[in-house]
């Protein structure tokens, strides 16, 4: 495992838990609005954190921390991910995985072995608009759908989330997403927040009324839809 970012305390990244966040570099998508652009495009520019430093911190803080969030980039690209998570769990900490769902076999393996307690899957857009939204023209949408359907089985606690920009999403997209995610436990619309680290520029957030319209569409098939970053 190569950890190139370490946020030592978060109260918002694991619902209801006090966590820290470990960031992996590299990704198999190129979402143009991604706010971790340097982690995705140039992970070798970041010196990795030493495992001893990370696990020493976790050991000292495990009575304060409830969980560790493994994020990215895309963590499922990392070799040794399962062994690394096992070391975290040996400290009595919960593990949340942030993933784009493209490596469905890795996701299933981690869930089946009960190595993760919570999964947050980024659903980029309706399947028809996936390639344009994630920056990979030939993206394997069958794998995306398989990951979505697998999580909806409820073998692990989970959420779906979509970062929404005015330039990449439309009402038509959310009508399709309402069908794709029908019956999901929880779905969050994350309103785009501009920063200097996005892969491309020129994206903008939506207004409250626009997001509420999308929520009305989604609530027809999904019981718990909420907004983040408003």
pLDDT in tens, 171-224: 999 999 999 999 999 999 999 998 888 999 999 999 999 999 999 999 999 989
Q: Is residue 147 domain-resident? A: yes
Question: What's the number of domains the chain is made of?
Answer: 1
pLDDT of residue 195: 87
Q: Is residue 204 domain-resident? A: no
User: What is the sign, positive or negative, of the torsion defined by CA atoms of 154, 31, 77, 197?
Assistant: negative
pLDDT in tens, 10-26: 999 999 999 999 999 99
Q: Is residue 96 domain-resident? A: yes
Residue with tokens 């299933």, as numbered in its chain: 108
| pLDDT exceeds 90 at position 229 | no
Give the pLDDT band (50/70/90) at residue 170. Answer: very high
pTM of this prediction? 0.96
Q: Is residue 228 domain-resident? A: no
Whichever domain contains 122, its CATH number is: 3.20.20.70
pLDDT in tens, 38-76: 889 999 999 999 999 999 999 999 999 999 999 999 999
Q: Is residue 52 domain-resident? A: yes
Q: Is residue 219 domain-resident? A: no
Would you call 34 helix, strand, or coil by DSSP?
coil
Token pair listed for 191: 């309103």
Which of 104, 110, 94, 124 has the alpha carbon at shortest distance from 33?
A: 124
Q: Is residue 60 domain-resident? A: yes
Describe the crossing of helices 104-112 and 141-152 by its angle, rounded to 10 degrees.
20
Residue with tokens 């996005």, as numbered in its chain: 198
How much of the chain, in percent, has pLDDT values that exceed 90?
A: 95
Q: Is residue 184 domain-resident? A: no
User: If 0-12 CB within 10 Å is exposed, 13-18 middle and 19+ buried, where does residue 34 land?
Assistant: buried
Structural domain that includes position 139:
3-164
Give the largest Cα separation in the chain, rounded: 49
């Amino acid at each position: 495992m190569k950890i190139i970012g370490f946020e030592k305390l978060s109260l918002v990244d694991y619902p209801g838990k006090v966590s820290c966040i470990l960031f992996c570099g590299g990704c198999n998508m190129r979402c143009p609005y991604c706010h971790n652009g340097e982690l995705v495009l140039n992970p070798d520019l970041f010196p990795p954190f030493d495992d001893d430093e990370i696990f020493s911190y976790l050991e000292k803080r495990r009575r304060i921390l409830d969980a560790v969030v493994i994020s990215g980039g895309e963590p499922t690209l990392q070799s040794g991910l399962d062994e690394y998570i096992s070391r975290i769990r040996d400290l009595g900490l919960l593990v949340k995985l942030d993933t784009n769902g493209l490596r469905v076999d890795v996701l299933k393996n981690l869930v089946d072995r009960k190595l993760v307690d919570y999964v947050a899957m980024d659903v980029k857009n309706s399947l028809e608009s996936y390639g344009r939204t994630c920056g990979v023209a030939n993206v394997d949408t069958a794998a995306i759908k398989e990951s979505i359907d697998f999580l909806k089985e409820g073998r692990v606690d989970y959420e779906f989330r979509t970062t929404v920009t005015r330039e990449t999403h439309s009402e038509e997209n959310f009508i399709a997403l309402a069908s794709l995610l029908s019956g999901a436990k929880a779905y969050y619309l994350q309103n785009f927040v501009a920063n200097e680290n996005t892969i491309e520029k020129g994206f903008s957030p939506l207004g409250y009324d626009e997001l509420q319209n999308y929520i009305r569409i989604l609530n027809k098939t999904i019981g718990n839809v909420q907004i983040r970053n408003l």
